[in-house]
Chains A and B, each alone.
Chain A
Amino acid sequence: MLKTIGVSGVGDLFKDIPASLRPKSFNIPAGKSECEVTGHLKRLSSKNATDLINFVGAGFYDHFIPAAVDAIVNRPEFYTAYTPYQPECSQGWLQAIYEYQTVICELTGLDVSNASLYDGGTAIYEAAMMALRLTKRNKIIMDSGVNLIYRTMLYTYTSNLSIEFVEIPVVHGQSSREELFKHLDDKTAAVILQNPNFFGAVDDYSDIVERVHKHGALAIASVYPVSLGMLKSPGEMGFDIATGEGQSLGIPLSFGGPYLGFMAAKKELVRQMPGRIVGATIDKDGRRGFVLTLQTREQHIRREKATSNICSNEALCALRAVVFVSLVGTEGLKELAQRNYQKAEFAKNELSRIAGVEVKRSAPTFNEFTVSLPRHANEVVYGMIDKGFACGFPLGRFYKGMNNYLLVAVTEKRTKEDIRKLADGLEAVL
C-alpha cells in the first residue's frame, strides 16, 4: 500500500503536521486484552447498587423491558447502521422510524412526529424555539410543575437570547389557573405544562389550552408516555406540541442515558419541526418506500438558517420504543397504565397508615405521588437505603420549603410485598 501511495513509511503521511504541533504528551496506558477490560468493567459495575428496591421516579421510571426489545435492538443490521441518508439500502430503518412516528402520533393524539430528539428536556427546548419562531414573540410561561431539570435546561439554552420567562407556582400540587391567566397575554409565545406534573398530579389542561389559543400563543405539553395508556392525551386537550421523555418505553434507566426525546405536533407546524422526519413515497415502479423528507428545515441544507442544529438523534432508542409499544399493543398499554395506577393507589393506602405520614390527595395521581413526613426527607431516604430501598425522591432538593416531602413512584415492577416492606421500613425509620 505504501508503494501505491508512493511513500516509504506511514510517518510520511503525517508530514503536514509540523514538528512544533506534535503532542506535548500522550500518557495513555498500554492496551489491555478484551478479557482484562471486561473483567475491569464487571468489577466497576458491581460497585453500583442495583439490588435496591426502587421507588424513585421523578420523570425516569423503572419499568419492565421485555426481552424481545433487546433481541431487536441487538441486531447489528440496526445498531451498526447510520442515519438513513441512502434510502435504497436503509428501508428497514426508514420504515421503523415511520412506524415510530406513527406510534408517537397515536400516543399523543397529534398529527406529526419527528424521528427523535435527545431527551425530554431538549425536546421542551426545541418546542419552545418553535413557538418563538412561529409567533415571533419572546415570552414563555412555564408551570413550575414541569420537571425542574427541564426548566433549568431551558434557561441554560436560552441564556444568550432575549426571552422573558414567567414561572407559575404550583398550588396544592397543581397548576394555578389564576396565576397563569394573570400572566397570559398577547406577548406570550408559549405556555409549557407537564402531565402528570412533577408532584405526580394529573390534570386536564383543556381549559388552559383554550385560553392560550385565544391569545395566539402555543400550548406545549411534556408527557409521560406510559401514562397515555390511561390519561387524556395532549391532542385531546388541544395542545399544539407534545414532548416528553420516552425512557419508559422499553429503555433502561442506564444512569441517565441514552434516552429518547419525542415530539409531536399539529400538522401545520411540521415545517418548523427540528430533526429528521421520515415520509412515505413511491419508487420508480410505484412501490411504497420511505425516505428522509422535508430536509430543507435541516442543518446540512439550511446551515445557520436551520430550524435546529440536531443531526444524530436517538434512533436506536426510538426503535426500542416502537418495538416495546408493538409488543404491548393498545390493550397492553392500557393494562400497563392501569397496573401502575393501581399499585400506586395501593401504596398510597399503605403509606397513609403510618403515623406522621400524610399522602397528598388534593389532586388525582397516576403512578407517583407526594407524601409529607414528620422529618427531613433526606434523613428518611438515608435511613431507607440501609434497609435496601430507594424510597423516593426528596422534593426539598428541587423545591424550597419542601424538605419534609417525598415523591414516591410505583411502577408495575413493584410487588405488593415490596410496597408493604416499604411501608414497614418507613414506619421503622420514622
Chain B
Amino acid sequence: MKLIFEKGKPGRRGFTQARADVPEVKPIDKRCVRKDMPRLASVSELDVIRHYSGLSRLNYSVDTNFYPLGSCTMKYNPKFTERIASLEGFTGVHPLLPQLSGGGMLAQGSLEVLYETERLLAEITGMNAFTMQPMAGAHGELTGNMLIAAYHKANGSRRKYVIVPDSSHGTNPASAAIAGYEVIVIKTAADGYMDLEEYKKRMNNDVAAVMLTCPDTLGLFNPHIKEISDIAHKAGALMYYDGANLNAMLGKCRPGDIGFDVVHINLHKTFATPHGGGGPGAGPVGVGEKLADFLPIPRVVRHADGTFALDYHRHKSIGYIAPFYGNFGVILKAYAYMLFLGKEGLIEAAEAAVLNANYCLSRLKDHYDLPYDKRCMHECVFSAARQALGGVHAIDIAKYLIDKGYHPPTVYFPLIVKEALMIEPTETESKETMDEFIDTMIEIARLAKENPSAVTQAPLHMPVKRLDETKAAREPNLRWQPQ
C-alpha cells in the first residue's frame, strides 16, 4: 500500500482550525523560527480514514484472529472497558490538577481508581503495597530492581549480582543490567526447572536478587520455588517475581505467599487491557512490607474522611520513575475488568487458561516434540526439531499458520528450546477455535513429512510474501524520503 505521504495533493488538508478570535500579533523573534518546515502528508480527512482503515485490515488482531502468542496472554478484551476509558471525566483530567493547592478534590474519581486498583492487586498477589506508575512490564522490572537496590543500600550493603535463569524473558537480564547489576545466568536442568545445584553454588552474599517467572517460560510451575526463595532469603537476597505469567495463578497461588519480595504485573496480559500494537501496557509493581517505604512518589493515600490524596513526603522513596501516576487509561480498564470478573471470575479465568493450554498440549504432543513432557500451566512449549530435520522450521510453521488465518505462537523463545513453538491459547478461546487451530498444526506436521515445500513457501495469501530481513538490517531504510 502507498504511504500516507504518497497520497493526496499539495494543499489538501484533513483538519481546519477555528478562525482566530484574537488580534494578529508580531511574529516571534526570527532567530527562533524554523526554516525547513516538516514535510507532512497533504490529505483530506477521508484520505486519512481510508488510509488507516486500509492499513488496519492488514493486521491480525485478537478481535479478528486466534492469537496464541505465548507469554503475551492475548485474551479477549471486553468492550465495555473501552467505553469506560473513553469517558470525558477520565480522559479530560490534567495530571497536575491534584498537585495544585485546593486541587486535591478535582481528581477524586481518578485517585480512587488508582487506590482501589492497588488494593485489589495487593490482595491478588499477596503483596503489601503497589505502585501503579510503571508503564510496561520492563519498566516495572527496572523499577523493581531500583527498589531492590534501595533496600540493600538502606541495609548498608551494595550487592553486585542479580540471578536469572536462562529461560527468562530478555527483559529480566536487560533490566537488571541497566539498573547497575551484573547478571548471573543459571541454566535449566534436564527436568525443565532451573538447575537447583548450580543455583545453590552461585548464591552468595553479593547477590541482590533472584528474578523468576512463575509459572516459568516453559509454562511449568517450579516445585522447588519455595526452596529457591528460602535459599535467596538466607543469603540476604530478595526474590523478584516477573508477573508475565500471572494469569495461571489467579486465586491458585500468590507470589507473596511463596516469599517473593517484589512483583510486577502486566495489566495488558492478565487483566485484559488491549495490547495496542505494542503498547501502551502497564507494569505496576508490588512489594512486601519491608520494601514499601522505597516505592516511587507520589503514593496515593486515603484519609480518614474517605478522600484520596497524593503523598510526596516519603523520605526513603526512590523518587520519580514516571511523570505522574502511570498509564492511567490502561489501569482504568484493568480495574473495570477486575470488578467485572470478581473473585470467582478471576479463579475461573486461571482455570480455563490452564485447561485450554493443557488441551492444546495433549492433542499436539504426538505430533510435535515436547522437550519437557509435563503438565503445563497457562502455556505449552513444543519444539519443531522433528520437522526441522525435514527442512520445516518453526518459522515456516509460523508462516503457514498465517496463511491459514492464525497468528502464530511465539517462536524461538524460550531460547533454551530448539525450534520453540510457545502456545498460549488463553481462557477466552472456545474448544472449537482451538480444535481448528490444532487440526491445522497436525496438518502442518503431516505436510512436513510428506510435502515440506507446501509449508516452506508460506505465506502465499497475505499482502506480502516473506520479507528480506537481512536487507532491512544491512541497508536501513527507516523513514520515507521525498523524491
Between B24, B220, B252, B323, the greatest number of chain A beta carbons within 10 A of the residue's beta carbon is seen for: B323
What's the nearest-Cβ distance from chain A to residue B409, in Å? 10
Task: Choose, from A47-55, A164-172, A175-183, A209-217, the stretch at the interface.
Answer: A47-55
- The answer to whether A257 and B324 have CB atoms under 8 Å apart is yes
Residue in A30, A38, A152, A204 whose beta carbon sits within 8 Å of that of B342 in the complex = A30
Is B141's CB within 8 Å of the partner chain A? yes
A16 to B479, CA, bound (A): 50
A149: chain B residues within 8 A (beta carbon): 320, 323
Query: A27-64: which residues lie under 8 A (CB-CB) from chain B?
Result: 27-34, 37-38, 40-50, 52, 54, 56, 58-60, 62
Is A6's CB within 8 Å of the partner chain B? yes
- The answer to whether B45 and A68 have CB atoms under 8 Å apart is yes
* Binary A-proximity of B333-348 (CB < 8 A = 1, otherwise 0): 0011011111111110
- The answer to whether A81 and B342 have CB atoms under 8 Å apart is no
B431: chain A residues within 8 A (beta carbon): 1
A86 to B395, CA, bound (A): 10
The residue of chain A having its C-beta at the shortest distance from the C-beta of B317 within the complex is A156
Task: Choose, from A109-117, A137-145, A186-194, the stretch at the interface.
Answer: A109-117
* Binary A-proximity of B439-457 (CB < 8 A = 1, otherwise 0): 0000000000000000000
Query: B27-62: which residues lie under 8 A (CB-CB) from chain A?
Result: 28-29, 31-43, 45, 48-49, 51-62
Query: A304-350: which residues lie under 8 A (CB-CB) from chain B?
Result: 304-306, 308-317, 319, 322-323, 325-336, 339, 341-343, 345-346
* Binary A-proximity of B116-147 (CB < 8 A = 1, otherwise 0): 00001001101000000001111101100010
- The answer to whether B32 and A257 have CB atoms under 8 Å apart is no
A279 to B474, CA, bound (A): 10
- The answer to whether B109 and A328 have CB atoms under 8 Å apart is no
What's the nearest-Cβ distance from chain A to residue B331, in Å? 8
A390: chain B residues within 8 A (beta carbon): 94, 97, 100, 103, 106
A1: chain B residues within 8 A (beta carbon): 355-356, 359, 431
Query: B432-483: which residues lie under 8 A (CB-CB) from chain A?
Result: 459, 462-469, 471-473, 476-480
Task: Say yes or no: A279-B477 contact (C-beta < 8 A), given A5-B359, A17-B253, A99-B3.
Answer: yes
Task: Say yes or no: A42-B53 contact (C-beta < 8 A), given A312-B138, A342-B24.
Answer: no
A87 to B465, CA, bound (A): 9
A76 to B88, CA, bound (A): 21
* Binary B-proximity of A411-430 (CB < 8 A = 1, otherwise 0): 01001100100000000000
- The answer to whether A29 and B359 have CB atoms under 8 Å apart is no
- The answer to whether B170 and A21 have CB atoms under 8 Å apart is no
- The answer to whether B322 and A300 have CB atoms under 8 Å apart is no
- The answer to whether A289 and B220 have CB atoms under 8 Å apart is no
A157 to B142, CA, bound (A): 8
Is B279's CB within 8 Å of the partner chain A? yes
Task: Say yes or no: A330-B38 contact (C-beta < 8 A), given A23-B252, A29-B343, A293-B469.
Answer: yes
- The answer to whether B146 and A156 have CB atoms under 8 Å apart is yes
The residue of chain B having its C-beta at the shortest distance from the C-beta of A290 within the complex is B467
Is A281's CB within 8 Å of the partner chain B? yes
Query: B75-123: which residues lie under 8 A (CB-CB) from chain A?
Result: 77-78, 80, 82-84, 86-97, 99-103, 105-110, 112-113, 120, 123
The residue of chain B having its C-beta at the shortest distance from the C-beta of A109 within the complex is B36
A106: chain B residues within 8 A (beta carbon): 38-40
- The answer to whether A299 and B13 have CB atoms under 8 Å apart is no
- The answer to whether A23 and B49 have CB atoms under 8 Å apart is no
A299 to B173, CA, bound (A): 8
B136: chain A residues within 8 A (beta carbon): 118, 310-313
- The answer to whether A22 and B253 have CB atoms under 8 Å apart is yes
- The answer to whether A341 and B15 have CB atoms under 8 Å apart is no
Task: Say yes or no: A346-B22 contact (C-beta < 8 A), given A4-B359, A10-B354, A83-B278.
Answer: yes
- The answer to whether A41 and B340 have CB atoms under 8 Å apart is no
A304 to B185, CA, bound (A): 10
A72 to B4, CA, bound (A): 14
B52: chain A residues within 8 A (beta carbon): 72, 75, 78, 96, 319, 323
Is A203's CB within 8 Å of the partner chain B? yes
Task: Say yes or no: A232-B278 contact (C-beta < 8 A), given A23-B126, A31-B340.
Answer: no
- The answer to whether A32 and B339 have CB atoms under 8 Å apart is yes
B146: chain A residues within 8 A (beta carbon): 156-157, 159-160
A93: chain B residues within 8 A (beta carbon): 55, 59, 277-278
A366: chain B residues within 8 A (beta carbon): 28
Is B251's CB within 8 Å of the partner chain A? yes
* Binary A-proximity of B250-283 (CB < 8 A = 1, otherwise 0): 0111100110000000101000001111111100
B13: chain A residues within 8 A (beta carbon): 327-329, 331-332
A101: chain B residues within 8 A (beta carbon): 478-479
- The answer to whether A257 and B277 have CB atoms under 8 Å apart is no
B126: chain A residues within 8 A (beta carbon): 23-25
- The answer to whether B48 and A312 have CB atoms under 8 Å apart is no
What's the nearest-Cβ distance from chain B to residue A257, in Å? 4
A382 to B346, CA, bound (A): 43
Query: B220-274: which residues lie under 8 A (CB-CB) from chain A?
Result: 220-221, 223, 225-226, 251-254, 257-258, 266, 268, 274
* Binary B-proximity of A244-284 (CB < 8 A = 1, otherwise 0): 01000000111111110000000000100000111111111
Residue in B60, B176, B478 whose beta carbon sits within 8 Å of that of A89 in the complex = B60
- The answer to whether A88 and B459 have CB atoms under 8 Å apart is yes
Is A302's CB within 8 Å of the partner chain B? yes
Between B170, B178, B179, B377, the greatest number of chain A beta carbons within 10 A of the residue's beta carbon is seen for: B178
A-B contact pairs, 30 of them (CB 8 A): A23-B251, A24-B126, A29-B343, A42-B89, A44-B89, A52-B97, A72-B48, A79-B275, A80-B61, A82-B278, A88-B462, A95-B1, A96-B277, A102-B480, A118-B136, A252-B91, A259-B323, A270-B478, A308-B174, A311-B136, A312-B281, A314-B276, A329-B43, A330-B37, A364-B32, A378-B100, A382-B101, A390-B100, A412-B18, A415-B21
Knowing that A47-B109, A258-B135 are A-B contacts, what are 8 other residue pairs whose CB atoms are under 8 Å apart, sorted by A's residue number?
Answer: A21-B258, A60-B96, A77-B61, A152-B320, A254-B91, A295-B473, A326-B40, A390-B103
Instruction: Give the 7 A-B residue pairs with the shortest CB-CB distance, closest first.
Output: A256-B324, A31-B342, A45-B89, A316-B276, A256-B95, A258-B280, A160-B180
